[in-house]
Amino acid sequence: MIDLRSDVKTRPSAAMRAAMAAAEVGDDHMGEDPTVNELERRGAALLGQEATLFLPSATLANQIALRLHTRPGDELLGEDTSHVFISEQGGPAVHSGLVCRGLPGELGRITPEQVRAAMRPDRPHYAPRTRVLVVENTHNSAGGTVWPLEELREIVETARELGLALHLDGSRVCNAAVALGVPTADLAGPFDTVTLCLSKGLGCPMGALLAGPAELLVEGRRLKHQFGGATRQAGIVAAAGLYALDHNIARLAEDHANARRLGEGLAAAGVPVDLARVETNFVQIDVGPLGLGAAEAIARLAEAGVGVTGTIHPTVLRAVTHLDVTAEQIEQALQVMPGALGVGARAGAVA
Ligand SMILES: *Cc1c(COP(=O)(O)O)cnc(C)c1O
């Protein structure tokens, strides 16, 4: 199968596995794993932050960050289809007792005006304390969309002015940086805390980094244990992270080029694709106009040998490119996808 279901499907390459096998390890919980320590140093430099904490998953990184910034009863603001709101099992409510306030966004982005309007400065005796703003970049549910630099700068400035803590769910922030052609630190540095996922397009079997001020991450390390995420000889996995930082960031541009080729090829064949939304490694396909439901379309594509998934929109499918999908496989996918979706008569135009 040409697996376009998600960039979490990447498997560690032979070279990454060799790096893992050769890793020097120690007891990470006691700060004695040299490979974890090195990844934490390198990650901080990449993200333009003082320090990082190596964690098993990006979900855990987000949840620890939210706990660090809040007290129970505080309010969390963000775009309403953000991963922290719709894909973390209610974690902000469970782990930190937060009131979750999702604001309707455009391409995964909200405006400074929306954030300002969400504050309730005149009702301090009644209203929950609005405390933290989460920004997601790239934005998963919106289709891997990127915050333009100017909009990012404005939302950060607004949050600062309002006294809000700022967390970047930058699970795919390297995709955003590569798409914009700027250093990752430019996008991640202005935030108080940042999550980076290593097991998506960066190709690691697991792992994430939570970045922030060293002093704050002392408490973060305590929470890592309290949340059950402390690890021992984790250097064996951190070695994959170091390999990824060296080899798998710049090449994200290939995934983006493959997504663009897929999107343009599908559109040329008559498959409804919103090309304006293909900014990184996601292609969103609306099968509604083809008279198909998502489940049926997914089944037909699977039958044709192409794996895709549904999205939060009932008729929109998602195809995601990643380092285990070659440009040649994209051409193969283009040969079969239009036909599988019932627009086969025009599929010849693709080749
Ligand atoms: C995948 C993802 C996460 C969670 O990552 P895990 O490492 O699978 O827990 C968080 N935020 C966003 C935006 C994601 O896409």
Q: In this predicted model, what pLDDT tens digit does every residue of 282-323 receive, in sequence order?
A: 999 999 999 999 999 999 999 999 999 999 999 999 999 999
In this structure, are strands 208-212 and 193-197 parallel, antiparallel, or unpaired? Answer: antiparallel
Q: Which of 80, 171, 173, when mutated, tests ligand 1's pocket best, judged by the most ligand atoms within 8 Å of its CB?
A: 171
pLDDT at 347 over 90: no
Question: Given a cut of 80, is residue 176 above it in pLDDT?
Answer: yes
Q: Is 81 in the pocket of ligand 1 (CB under 6 A)?
A: no
Q: Whose CA is nearest to atom 5 of ligand 1?
A: 58
Q: Return the pLDDT at 348.
A: 45
C-alpha 348 to ligand 1 mean position (Å): 37
Q: Is residue 351 scored above 80 in pLDDT?
A: no
Task: From 85, 140, 175, give the residue whose CB has the most ligand 1 atoms within 8 Å, as the site to mutate.
Answer: 140
Q: Whose CA is nearest to atom 14 of ligand 1?
A: 171
Burial degree of 263 (CB within 10 A; 0-12, 13-18, 19+): buried
Q: Residue 349 — very low, low, confident or very high, per pLDDT cuts 50/70/90? A: very low
Q: Is 30 exposed, middle or buried (0-12, 13-18, 19+ CB in 10 A)?
A: exposed
Cα 290 to ligand 1 centroid, rounded to whole Å: 31
Nearest CA to ligand 1 atom 2: 171
What pLDDT does 140 receive?
A: 97
| Pair type for strands 2-3 and 208-212 | unpaired
Report the percent of the chain where pLDDT is more than 90. Answer: 96
Q: Does ligand 1 have an atom closer than 6 angstroms to the CB of 171?
A: yes
Cβ of 197 below 6 Å from ligand 1: yes
Q: How confident is the model at residue 344 (pLDDT cuts 50, 70, 90)?
A: low
Mean pLDDT of the chain: 96
Question: For 216-232, what is each residue's pLDDT tens digit?
Answer: 999 999 999 999 999 99
* Cis amide prior to 111 (ω within 30 degrees): no
Question: In a 3-state reduction of DSSP, which class is residue 32?
Answer: coil
Residue 83 CA to ligand 1 centre (angstroms)? 7
CB-ligand 1 contact for 84 (6 Å cutoff): no
Number of helices (H), then strands (E), belonging to the chain: the values are 14, 12
End-to-end CA distance of the chain: 20
346 pLDDT higher than 50: no
Helices (H), the chain: 14-21, 34-47, 58-69, 83-86, 91-96, 112-118, 149-161, 173-180, 184-188, 214-226, 235-247, 252-268, 294-303, 327-340
Question: Does the predicted model carry a pTM greater than 0.85?
Answer: yes
At 345 the pLDDT is 56
Q: How confident is the model at residue 210 (pLDDT cuts 50, 70, 90)?
A: very high
